[in-house]
Amino acid sequence: MPSPEGRRETSPEGRRALREVARAAVARGAREGRELEVDVRCFAAELRAPGAAFVTLRRGGELRGCTGSVEAVRPLVEDVARSAYRAARCDPRFAPIDPAELALLELRISLLGGLEPLPAGSEAELVARLRPGVDGLVLREGERSATFLPAVWQSLPEPGQFLRELRRKAGLAPEHWSETLRFERYPVEEF
């Protein structure tokens, strides 16, 4: 359920159910190479509602996989299962998770609030409007797009550097700016 700031606020039971689904999806992916099938009818209404999520896997504090979606196009519980599977098997930066790694993985779920357009006529204007440590940011330029979750601010705390790396992630030059460049921000509920 969204808060007044646009963040989701999931019940403790909902969080517990999402963690269980995510862990099961990672395990199924690692052991069988298959996605977890989720019967959404078995979950509370808050988890059946459309939602967007990212699942981040770490091993020994190091990133091991992170994927998700920025737009709510399927039930939240289904999106978490899909994102967890993809983090374990499909993140192109890493080899698929091996079953021997399962006990060593730390799992974080980020539930995205709604996307808010963040128009800016210049990089300076955009930087002034960003909320470091709070905003997740989506960049779109033609067919290219990229996003950073708010957690990325921990390793890129300076807004200019945050933007340069986001552009690089989208396959653009780090200093790229154009009239067609679009940004959207979003809050997250992370657990």
**Burial category of 1 from C-beta neighbours within 10 Å (exposed 0-12, middle 13-18, buried 19 and up):** exposed
**Residues in CB range of 74: below 8 A, 6 or more apart:** 50, 82
Note whether 47 and 14 are within 8 A (CB): yes
Note whether 156 and 106 are within 8 A (CB): no
Q: In this predicted model, what pLDDT tens digit does every residue of 89-112 receive, in sequence order?
A: 999 999 999 999 999 999 999 999
Provide the percentage of residues in the chain whose pLDDT is more than 90: 95
How long is the chain? 191
> Given pLDDT bands bounded at 50, 70 and 90, which one contains residue 9?
confident
Q: In this predicted model, what pLDDT tens digit does every residue of 22-38 receive, in sequence order?
A: 999 999 999 999 999 99
Note whether 185 and 148 are within 8 A (CB): no
CA distance 66 to 19: 15
Q: Work out whether the CA dihedral 107, 8, 114, 137 comes out positive or negative.
A: negative
* pTM assigned to the model: 0.89
**DSSP type of residue 156:** -
Average pLDDT over the chain reads 94
Q: In this predicted model, what pLDDT tens digit does every residue of 164-177 receive, in sequence order?
A: 999 999 999 999 99
**Range list of H helices, the chain:** 12-32, 45-48, 76-89, 123-129, 159-169
Note whether 99 and 150 are within 8 A (CB): no
Domains of the chain: 12-112 (3.30.700.20), 116-190 (3.30.1490.150)
**DSSP type of residue 107:** E
Note whether 70 and 103 are within 8 A (CB): no
Question: How far does the chain reach from its first CA to its final CA, in angstroms?
Answer: 15
Tokens of 40: 């959404």
Phi, psi of 6 (to 5 degrees): 90, -5
